Amino acid sequence: MKSKLIKGRMGDWEVVIGMEVHAQVTSQSKLFSGASTVFGGEPNSQVSLVDAAMPGMLPVINEACIKQAVRTGLGLAARINLKSVFDRKNYFYPDLPQGYQISQYKSPLVGEGEVVVDLPDGETVRVGIERLHLEQDAGKSLHDRHSSMSLVDLNRAGVALMEIVSKPDMRSSEDAKAYVAKLRAILRYLGTCDGDMEKGNLRADVNVSVRKPGAPLATRCEIKNLNSIRFIGQAIEYEARRQIDILEDGGEIEQETRLFDPAKGETRSMRNKEEAHDYRYFPDPDLLPLELTPDYVEDLKAQLPELPDEKKARFVRDYGLSGYDAGVLVAERETAAFFEDVAKGRDAKAAANWVINELAGRLNKEGRDVAASPVSASQLGAILDLISAGTISGKIAKDLFEICWREGGDPRAIVEARGMTQVTDLAAIEPVIDEIIAKNADKVQQAKSKPALISWFVGQVMKASGGKANPKAVNELLKSKLGL
Ligand code: MN
């Protein structure tokens, strides 16, 4: 496990990171109104009288959103609070006509939980969840549509967000990136948020402070609204270094809210951090406290899908995969399902290798999702069957995969039609071997004292046969011919 400490002029520093993630709830309508949440509509075409805060309009809670938030809480192994309260967070919001955001403050819907994060080097970090609450999103101010005025699009105003607050349990940008990736995977498995960071449906506010190892928590800065995992990493790296430089120069960190500039890779000050009491939170008099029955929560719990950690454990147990391979396969539910279709009744380790290396590598190269893979699970399965039956070699299989990718078709028919069948017939291989042995008397001599040289001979025969000779048959025949 490599050290996460950052080197300064005056020794090592530890960075402490906590995160508030805003995740848009997957729901057809908004948190307190029936207006649509579909992305990309004409500006202000999805605004109800409630969202526009017309006089006398009253909010009505959307049960679908409550259900999604409770399911998310259960997926984060968190306590569900059977009684929670909606509060008004008062602030000047140019794009939220109410003049306050309906959120939850003292009594959130979901309490403490945990996300287990696996790092690429094999370390496991447990990130505590402090709480999850429901709140409204704001609309969007448009500053580039008119030469002298700002316009506002309220389509997003009132859309349900889950604010998921972590404990300050992360100690490096790698921890933070892996945490967001894992959280996103859990939400996508649950179907409670689509995790689309480009559309802003999942965005993170990151709290960063630095301290001498073992020292108490220091003053933090909050970097707002990061909408890519890469930016989260860059912003933390920059911010930690900035704070270390200030402290080593004898300065102090001021608690503030900062913005990340992706073009420059820097954070810059946005405003001094306000305290919770500045918002004058109070329970929204238009809404009753939200009360759930234990049965309601138990029912939802019983219907949760298999989540990434459970699936990973099952892949290790039932398919004999390594923890690393299983972790890669379960990161996206669609990839895990593809793997299971290929592995059914076949060598699971071979299936995992093909999905992780050939398929995922090829998909990445073209920036495609597994759902849009030109090679289907049944095609890849047929390729694996051809290998295990000894009909084609592993090398030819890669060519076959490429043909299926580009042209489609039944792998068995392609092998047949193009004469890609592996040659296991010793009578056909023998003359090739004899010729190579005859031409390389020196190497034959060397092989007597250095048997590992046989792999060089195998390579030559495979080359001469255009990759079609059966490596196992070649190996055996060579051994007897070379007297090894
Ligand atoms: Mn919030």
127 with 183: CB under 8 angstroms? no
Distance, CA 193 to ligand 1 centroid (Å)? 16
- Count CB atoms within 10 A of the CB of residue 219: 15
Tens place of pLDDT per residue across the chain (484 aa): 678 999 999 899 999 999 999 999 999 999 999 999 999 999 999 999 999 999 999 999 999 999 999 999 999 999 999 999 999 999 888 899 999 999 999 999 999 999 999 998 889 999 999 999 999 999 999 999 999 999 999 999 999 999 999 999 999 999 999 999 999 999 999 999 999 999 999 999 999 999 999 999 999 999 999 999 999 999 999 999 999 999 999 999 999 999 999 999 999 998 776 777 889 999 999 999 999 999 999 999 999 999 999 999 999 999 999 988 999 999 999 999 999 999 999 999 999 999 999 999 999 999 999 999 999 999 999 999 999 988 888 888 999 999 999 999 999 999 989 888 877 777 778 888 889 999 998 988 888 888 888 989 988 988 888 877 887 788 888 888 888 7
Q: Which residue intervals of 156-250 are DSSP H helices? A: 173-190, 229-248
Q: In whole angstroms, how far apart are CA 289 and each of 67, 87, 363, 412?
A: 16, 10, 48, 63
What's the rounded Cα separation, in Å, for the pair 185 and 330?
9
Distance, CA 203 to ligand 1 centroid (Å)? 10
Distance, CA 120 to ligand 1 centroid (Å)? 31
Distance, CA 103 to ligand 1 centroid (Å)? 8
Q: Please tell me the predicted confidence (pLDDT) of residue 301.
A: 98
Q: Of 59, 67, 69, which Cα lies nearest the Cα of 23? A: 69
> What is the per-residue DSSP string for 114-134?
EEEEE-TTS-EEEEEEEEEEE
Distance, CA 237 to ligand 1 centroid (Å)? 24
**Amino acid residing at 322:** S
What's the rounded Cα separation, in Å, for the pair 460 and 32?
72
Q: Please tell me the predicted confidence (pLDDT) of residue 362.
A: 93
Distance, CA 31 to ligand 1 centroid (Å)? 14
Distance, CA 135 to ligand 1 centroid (Å)? 7
Residue 123: exposure state from Cβ atoms within 10 A (0-12, 13-18, ≥19)? middle
Q: Which residue intervals of 306-424 are DSSP H helices? A: 308-319, 323-330, 333-343, 348-353, 360-365, 377-388, 394-407, 411-417
Q: Which pTM does this prediction carry?
A: 0.86
Distance, CA 78 to ligand 1 centroid (Å)? 19
Residues 6 or more apart in contact with residue 353 via CB below 8 angstroms: none
Q: At what angle do helices 471-482 and 426-439 cross, to 10 degrees?
A: 50
Q: Please tell me the predicted confidence (pLDDT) of residue 188.
A: 97
Please give the domain boundaries of the chain with CATH numbers for all domains.
6-300 (no CATH), 426-482 (1.10.10.410)
Query: What is Dmax (Cα atoms) for the chain?
Result: 98
**Amino acid residing at 476:** E
What's the rounded Cα separation, in Å, for the pair 379 and 238?
46
38-64 exposure pattern, b = at least 16 Cβ within 10 A, e = fewer: eeeeeeeebbbebbbeeeebebebbee
Q: Please give all residues whose CB falls under 5 A of ion ligand 1, grouped by chain where several chains appear.
A: 163
Q: Of 367, 12, 407, 379, which Cα lies nearest the Cα of 212? A: 12
Q: In whole angstroms, how far apart are CA 112 and each of 351, 414, 464?
A: 38, 56, 64
- Count CB atoms within 10 A of the CB of residue 472: 13
